[in-house]
Amino acid sequence: MQRTLSIVKPDGVDKNLIGEVIKRFEKAGLKVVALKMAHLTKKQAEGFYAVHKARPFFDSLTTFMCAGPIVPMVLEGNDAIKKVRDIMGATNPKDAAPGTIRKDLADSIESNIVHGSDAPETAVFEIGYFFNATEILK
């Protein structure tokens, strides 16, 4: 069993795709064990994406991530981190495989609908960024 953090990004919420994203995760056998809606400040978005601080797209990415509400969630299941990444597709929708969220629904490399943790250590940090232990189902 593994846990990972996913987020429906502001573009996904704006396009009424919260249910569509969750449906794809649930269909793959992943369990939603925590869920909320949030609207990040610029500082909070910068803290979440601190690993990308040196990247040229950091300012644009963090501005985008606080432009509207988001839906962070914790997903649990076998190999959850990889499963979520596979369902999301490549960062750039142009490179994403058919049938993935980003290929089917995303507009651009930045506005790509969904986030998913990329490793066990990042999953722990990212889950803790949004949820207390008491907010996650056992």
Judged by CB under 6 A, which of 46, 83, 115, 127 binds ligand ADP? 115
Residue 1 in tokens:
């069993």
Residues counted in the chain: 138
The single residue of 9, 24, 85, 115 carrying the catalytic annotation is 115
Contact 21, 53 (CB under 8 A): no
Task: Decide: helix, strand or coil at residue 57.
Answer: coil
Residue 110 binds which entry of ligand ADP, Mg ion, none, CB below 5-8 Å type-dependent: ligand ADP
Which of 23-31, 33-41, 110-118, 127-135 is the region at the interface with ligand ADP (rule: CB under 6 A)? Answer: 110-118
What residues form DSSP beta bridges with 83? Answer: none
CA–CA dist 46, 4 (Å, integer): 20
Site string for ligand ADP, 22-61 (x = CB under 6 A): ------------------------------x----x---x
39 is catalytic: no
Strands 71-77 and 31-35: antiparallel
**Footprint of Mg ion on this chain (CB under 5 A)?**
118
CB atoms within 10 A of CB 37: 11
Instruction: Give least dist CB 118 to Mg ion, A.
Output: 5
The set of catalytic residues is 115
Note the residues at the interface with ligand ADP (CB under 6 A).
Answer: 52, 57, 61, 91, 109-110, 112, 115, 118
